[in-house]
Amino acid sequence: MPRADAPVLNTETRRSAARAATPSPQPWLRSPLGRTALPLGIAAIGLLAGYLLSIGLSGYFVFLAVSAVTAAIAILGLGVVTGSAGMIALCQLTFAAVGAWVVSLLNVMEAPGGFVAWLLLGGVAAGLVGILVGLPALRLRGVNLAVVTLGFAAAADVTLVQIQFPGSKDGVAIVRPEAFSSDRSYFFFSIIVLTACALTVFFLQRSRWGSSWKAVAFSERGTASVGQSVQSAKLTAFAVSAALGGISGGLLAGQVQLPFASSFTPIQSLALYILAVMSGAYLIDMAIFGGLLWVVVPELLKRWGVPQDWGFVVFGVLGVQALTSGTNLGQGIRALWWKRADKRAAAARSAARERSALLRAELDDEALEQGSSPVSAAPASDPVATAPVLVVQNLGVTFGTLKALDGVSLEVPARSVMGLIGPNGAGKSTFVDAISGFLPQHTGTVTLNGTPLAGLSPMRRARLGLRRTFQQDRVPPSLTVEAYLRFVARRSVSSAEIDEVLDFFGCPEAATRLVSVDVGTRRLIEVAANVLARPSLLILDEPAAGLSHDEHVELGRRLRAVPGRYDMSIVLIEHDLDLVRTVCSTLTVLDFGTVLASGNQAEVLADPAVIKAYMGETEML
């Protein structure tokens, strides 16, 4: 019922009020045009600056500037594989050598298409090599992957010294593009290539690929559970990174016109990696800054009469500082800017809370108009009698000698909320892992909408419409709320749909960065994102953990409305029996891996066996 203290508003007025309360900062920025126009505008300014520099810089500085640009492109690539996807790759200049080698070969062959086509082919070749090098990344992580990539760099270095670059023995100089043959104009050409690479990376980072890189860096399980292939996320990151390395190498080949192996050594790859980590190369401006450091530090040392190789020591010290402080330059600078943005986000969140109160009243009104009790006060109703969405028969899981699940059978009715409860260690999370494909070695059968799930990976099950959330935080903090929702939804969703589901769950606005919200709110956003995916079944593993009591109550009220509003079923795992009682129409109780009771909520909670299992917690029943 509408609360007595609530202002007297009709439903439409409340809806308008809720919409009006929705913060929509710079809506044009979220439009397709706005999302494209701004980066293109910045790119145009970059091109203009590059052109002015190309006519203003003196000869030697032009050479240094091209070196900075080639390094910036290679670092951009490292920003993808290391900064975004979280994998250690210590062979970026080996990919550059592949690009330079292909350009040299095509130059010697006088292949059609000219330098621009050779450069692109060099990038493609390096990208393919990147996929091969990335294959071990599917199994290896951390230091093991570092060893593999460094080993590859060392092997390639030895090979390159032996075979040399095509044409280098005969002194066949690489032919630059006709319009950019002078050093000055070649610098402007390199700026054009850098701009194209930066724009590509920018739009890729915003795309599904970019989100998958950030997701896989945070949690592989979380990534697979939303239907994203972990393998393709890792391999695309390696391929894009290596392709950028290849383009950087091809560009360098055009700069020096006779490339040598000494420009692509493993130690230089290592130094470049450190620069990428230190600067925060997943941010495009910081990758460009890293490219500048790459030439400025040795140049300064030279001017001060110090051997340039000490530059590696300087990079090493900067890298150690970045790794021990746990942050990087780009992050540090942005943190200052984000402080203000976070304040605005906090204000928006309190507005969201007010909106959610309005929505509650709105839902109550709708319920009253339909002749039923208001949802905030109504007891759980029986599900609609249709075919069950999930059927589990005789499910069994053993860990060594422990039978975590034994002969578990249950059905989840369509468009319902079923509670799965039981004491600690009863087997609830094991059940979710088995159903969602993370424990494939189970016995028994599981069908979703009549489709047997045996042998299907978590990713396939998610794509079939079975989604789950986790007890632990699996929401990648480097995404914005909107990017995360779009990634998890795995379908084309409008901004209005995103705002609606965020409103419904009382989540922060779409532009909020996930790193700036607390874990409890992140889990709420995880629920909202999975609801937006419109699965047939969503399994929520203790979604209220980290929320306050009031937020528990709010969440319960919203979850009750989900099946009718979004046409899906929910399995709710929860220790808070108040929440379970409010939300679930049916219940299944697990104890020591077996089903103790299953059926209508009231009957199950009154079952003496259930009460006995909850001894010590009986007052809660």
Q: Which residues bind ligand ATP (CB under 6 A)?
A: 399, 402, 404, 422, 424-430
Distances in whole angstroms, Cα of residue 501 to Cα of each of 348, 447, 506, 531: 16, 28, 8, 8
User: Would you say 426 and 596 are in contact if contact means Cβ atoms under 8 Å apart?
Assistant: no
Residue 427 or 458: the one with the smaller Cβ distance to ligand ATP is 427
Q: For the chain, how far is it from start to end, CA to CA, in angstroms?
A: 26
Q: Which is nearer to ligand ATP, 311 or 422 (CB)?
A: 422
Whether the Cβ atoms of residue 205 and residue 198 lie closer than 8 Å to each other: no
Three-state DSSP class for residue 409: strand
User: Least Å distance between CB 402 and ligand ATP?
Assistant: 6
Name every residue whose Cβ is closer than 8 Å to that of residue 124 and which is 6 or more positions away in sequence.
Answer: 243, 246
In the complex, least distance from residue 589 CB atom to ligand ATP, rounded to whole angstroms: 11
Question: Hey, CA dihedral for 512, 515, 519, 523, is it positive or negative?
Answer: positive
Length of the chain counted residue by residue: 621
> What is the smallest separation between the CB atom of 397 and ligand ATP, expressed in angstroms?
8
Closest CA to 593 of 410, 393, 406, 395: 406
Q: What is the DSSP string of 432-486?
A: HHHHTTS----EEEEEETTEE-TT--HHHHHHHTEEE--SS--S-TTSBHHHHHH
Nearer to ligand ATP, 37 or 402 (CB): 402
Min CB(361)–ligand ATP separation in Å: 35
Q: CA 454 to CA 464: how far, in whole Å? A: 13
Task: List C-alpha distances in Å: 579 to 3, 67, 356, 417, 583.
Answer: 21, 62, 18, 12, 6
Task: Return the number of the residue (183 or 406) whose C-beta is nearest ligand ATP.
Answer: 406
Residue 270 or 544: the one with the smaller Cβ distance to ligand ATP is: 544
Q: Give the whole-angstrom CA distance, residue 7 versus residue 311.
A: 69
Is the CB of 245 or the CB of 427 nearer to ligand ATP? Answer: 427
582 closest CA partner among 603, 605, 610, 556: 556
Nearest distance from C-beta of residue 548 to ligand ATP, angstroms: 21
- Using left for φ > 0, alpha for ψ between -120 and 50, and beta otherwise, residue 368 falls in alpha
- By beta-carbon proximity to ligand ATP, the closer residue of 10 and 424 is 424
H or E element, residue 359: helix 329-369
Sheet containing 451-452: order of strands: 402-412, 390-399, 443-448, 451-452
Calpha distance 584→380 (Å, rounded): 6
Closest approach of Cβ 473 to ligand ATP, in Å? 15
Nearer to ligand ATP, 322 or 426 (CB): 426
Distance CA 427, CA 404 (A): 6
CB–CB of 539/469 below 8 Å?
yes
Question: Which of 23/437 has CB closer to ligand ATP?
Answer: 437
Helix 481-489 vs helix 208-218: crossing angle, to nearest 10: 100
Kindly state the smallest distance separating residue 17's Cβ from ligand ATP, in Å: 40
Measured from the CB atom, the residue of 269 and 436 that comes closer to ligand ATP is: 436
DSSP 513: B
C-beta of 447: minimal distance to ligand ATP in Å? 22
Q: How far is the CB of 145 from ligand ATP (least distance, A)?
A: 25
Residues 6 or more apart whose CB falls under 8 angstroms from that of 63 comprise 183, 255
Pairing of strands 451-452, 443-448: antiparallel
Minimum distance from residue 594 beta carbon to ligand ATP (Å): 12
Least distance between ligand ATP and beta carbon 249 (Å):
45
Nearer of residues 323 and 402 to ligand ATP, judged by Cβ? 402
- Judged by beta carbon, residue 150 or residue 426, the one nearer ligand ATP is 426
Q: Are 97 and 159 in contact (CB under 8 A)?
A: no
Q: Tell me the closest approach of the beta carbon of residue 592 to ligand ATP, in angstroms.
A: 8
**CB of 597 vs ligand ATP, minimal distance in Å:** 15
Q: Which CB, 242 or 395, lies closer to ligand ATP?
A: 395
405 beta partners: 397
Q: Which residue has the tokens 């009220």?
A: 557
Minimum CB separation of residue 528 from ligand ATP in Å reads: 23
For tokens 């920003």, name the residue: 79
Q: Quote the CA–CA distance of 72 and 46 in Å, as a whole number.
A: 14
Q: Residue 369 CB, nearest distance to ligand ATP (Å)? A: 40
Of residues 52 and 402, the one with the C-beta less far from ligand ATP: 402
Q: Which is nearer to ligand ATP, 425 or 520 (CB)?
A: 425
